[in-house]
Structure 1
């Protein structure tokens, strides 16, 4: 009789251990899938951020190199504004969905304020850049300074191996890039443009 009880206890113990192994395996697999999904989401974010910054740089370069006038200037500034808002949205969405530690930035919106006219704390009042139909030297300097910040951010994300964003960047690396290059205020940009 004692041998039979030991056998039942041993079988129950074996079943419990098998159940725990199955549950542990399922939990590990779900955790692996979650980590894999988060990694994929980060890769997509990094790719979209990199190319959105790149497209904005291209728009800045087109304006600075072609020096458009009147309607062409209006259109070029409008396309630039759309790209800048898209980049801002990519960062904000990633901040909400991936990592709340991504620095909050108004860098891209502040550029659009400059494009459309802006009053900086009653010290600087700028008309919309397209108001006179041609960019003046001051406006060109401001656009060059903003573009240079984007170039620095793009360079920090770049990999010579992939010829685009560096897949080895971590979320902390991207946060540092955003904090370093894409969080300057309009006042800082003005100071840098005219020193």
Structure 2
């Protein structure tokens, strides 16, 4: 069974949603809300901020679904909306600016994240600032190209490549400093 953004959406449900049917909007929410939340949480690292993104994405979806052309699967369209919304949060929210690995390393150490021979990938990612984490997650896990990332961030492709390279190097350094061999489990 497919879950997340890969779930198929019934064409009749989509047509009802395009006509403004509230029950259809609710059904779409039930189908995709968890996937939206999980992506936003992985990028932002804050449950409350991720919940706000989900709310914003579905309000936007209700306003724009009538213009959905179907060039890509509905889930892919919604995934892009979610990624865009998280990047918007990072851009406008000062608490997400200027963070680096040292800020997150101190926080993770205060939370008692163990430094054993195998380092948890999620703990590592949470030590990156939100911009770096977003680029790593969207490129490495979600398959976004540097060209797509440049559009999301309003930057050049070299910006995305540079952020990714620095973030991966930082992750390797953090993993090594935490006692791991640099390998992420």
Q: TM-score range by the shorter chain?
A: under 0.3
**Which is bigger in relative contact order (C-alpha 8 A, separation at least 6)?**
1
Higher Cα Rg, which structure: 1
TM-score by length of 2: 0.27
- Which structure shows the higher strand fraction? 1
TM-score by length of 1: 0.26
